[in-house]
Amino acid sequence: MRYIKWGTFLLLILAIGAGAWFYSSVQRPYQGFEGGEQFVEIPQGTGTAAMARRLADAGVVQSPEVFRLAVWLKGSGRRLQAGEYRFDRPMSPAEVVDKLSRGEVYVRAITFREGLTIWEMAPVFENAGFGSAKDFIAATKDTTLVAEIDPTARDLEGYLFPDTYTLPRGVTAAQLVEQMVRQFLRILTPELKQQAAARGLTVRELVTLASLVEKETAKPDERTIVAGVYTNRLRIGMGLQCDPTVIYALMLEGRYDGNIRRADLRIDSPYNTYRYAGLPPGPIAAPGAASLHAAANPADVPYFYFVSRNDGSHVFSTTYEEHSRKVYEYQIKPNR
């Protein structure tokens, strides 16, 4: 009888010791992978046991059993989230559980500023390390993404909304392009479409006009005025004479070198608004929300002309004579 008691006591001591060891293992930092970082992908629908094996195989936790114990102790079994996780230091199983519970998936940010063309966005994508510029350009040919609002689109120029996007490592160009179009469609509210329609503009014409505004001015207080100038010119059939459209025409032909020469103003392209009246055939860049709203709600102004002050702002004129004086004052005189 005495031996049985001692045996039971010994087993109890061993159980307590094992429990203490396991509990301390839950709190003890561990790193079993080499190098400065390790990535672990947890697919959607992965159970706790499969998560534990993935983490242990990657050297993030010491064993599947210790991770599952940490999950049990924290009561986090139903809160663990799928995604790709980055580990760059020794972490305890408890910390790993917390990381997965909070859904701290690894993402990287990429920013596309307003006014970029598809060709200018492509190297931003490549330089951020997501893929090749060629793949990005290829993805922008998927016009099915905008078929409902612009069935005539031949690419996604103007419909890739400029913004900062947080993306997982493995995102493809096609997935990013789709996300950018979805963001554009969120910005293109029913109210905005109604405002454009009230002015006789299709969605494509709205985006085209907004892209001209975006390229002409970055000053918030000028956007509706520039839109008003172009609206006035369109109303009377006057050429828009917008330099950025000439630049776009040159880019289409691979001839733009950073400068516009007088001869370039004669390039025979439907995008050349010096030769052809009306809006160009489509957007020439990606407009932001402010330019879209300006195009749908242009200022009621008497102006037909504007010229740069060379400081980012513009001076506006009603008559050609007044405009000529301003051109001399701000463009010709300073260069003499």
Position 238 confidence tier, pLDDT thresholds 50, 70, 90: very high
Same fold, 2-102 and 108-187: yes
C-alpha distances (whole Å) from 188 to each of 19, 29, 204, 220, 291 are 59, 49, 12, 19, 12
CB 67 within 8 A of CB 52: yes
Nearest CA to 159 out of 109, 203, 196 is that of 203
Say what the pLDDT of residue 9 is.
45
- The C-alpha angle with vertex 161 and arms to 124 and 202, in degrees rounded to 5, equals 140
Reported CATH class of domain 108-187: alpha beta
Choose the weakest-confidence range: 52-56, 71-75, 196-200.
71-75
Residue 200: what pLDDT?
96
pLDDT recorded at residue 258: 85
**Average confidence (pLDDT) over 196-223:** 97
Read off φ and ψ for residue 297, nearest 5 degrees: -135, 65
- Three-class secondary structure of residue 314 per DSSP: strand
Is a pLDDT exceeding 90 seen at residue 242? yes
Residue in 327, 301, 298, 302 with CA at minimum distance from that of residue 314: 327
For the cut 80, the answer to whether the pLDDT of residue 198 exceeds it is: yes
Examine the pLDDT at 317 and tell me if it is beyond 80: yes
Return the pLDDT at 21.
Answer: 52
Q: Check if the beta carbon of residue 242 is closer than 8 Å to that of residue 212.
A: yes
Per-residue confidence (pLDDT) for residue 310, from 0 to 100: 87
Check residue 130 and report its DSSP letter.
S
* 2-102: CATH number: 3.30.1490.480
Query: Average per-residue pLDDT in the chain?
Result: 91
pLDDT surpassing 50 at residue 234: yes
Residue 130: the pLDDT is: 94
Diameter over CA atoms, the chain: 118
pLDDT at residue 18 in the model? 47
- What is residue 7's predicted lDDT score, i.e. its pLDDT? 52
Element at 307 (helix H, strand E): strand 305-308
d(CA 217, CA 220): 8
Q: Which residues of 144-169 are buried (b: 16+ CB within 10 A; e: fewer)?
A: ebbeebbeebebbbbbbbbbebebee
Residue 260: predicted pLDDT: 87
Residue 10 pLDDT grade (very low, low, confident, very high; cuts 50, 70, 90): very low
Quick check: pTM over 0.75? Answer: yes
Mapping DSSP to helix (H, G, I), strand (E, B) and coil, where does residue 165 land?
strand
pLDDT (average), residues 190-210: 97
Average pLDDT over residues 3-11: 51
Residue length, the chain?
336
Is the pLDDT assigned to residue 12 strictly greater than 90?
no
| Segment 15-33, tens digit of pLDDT | 444 454 556 678 899 999 9
pLDDT of residue 129: 92
Is residue 67 within 8 A of residue 28, CB to CB? The reply is no
Residue 303's pLDDT is 97
Share of the chain above pLDDT 90, in %: 81
| Spatial separation of the C-alpha atoms in residues 190 and 176, rounded to whole Å | 24
With a CB cutoff of 8 Å and minimum separation 6, the contacts of 147 are: 153
Looking at residue 133, its pLDDT comes to 97
**CA-based Rg of the chain, rounded to a whole angstrom?**
30
Q: Kindly report, residue by residue over 74-110, the tens digit of the pLDDT.
A: 887 778 999 999 999 999 999 999 999 999 999 999 9
Digit-coded pLDDT (tens) for 276-288: 999 999 999 999 9
Give the position of tokens 């612009």. Answer: 150
Per-domain residue ranges of the chain: 2-102, 108-187, 190-301
DSSP 332: I
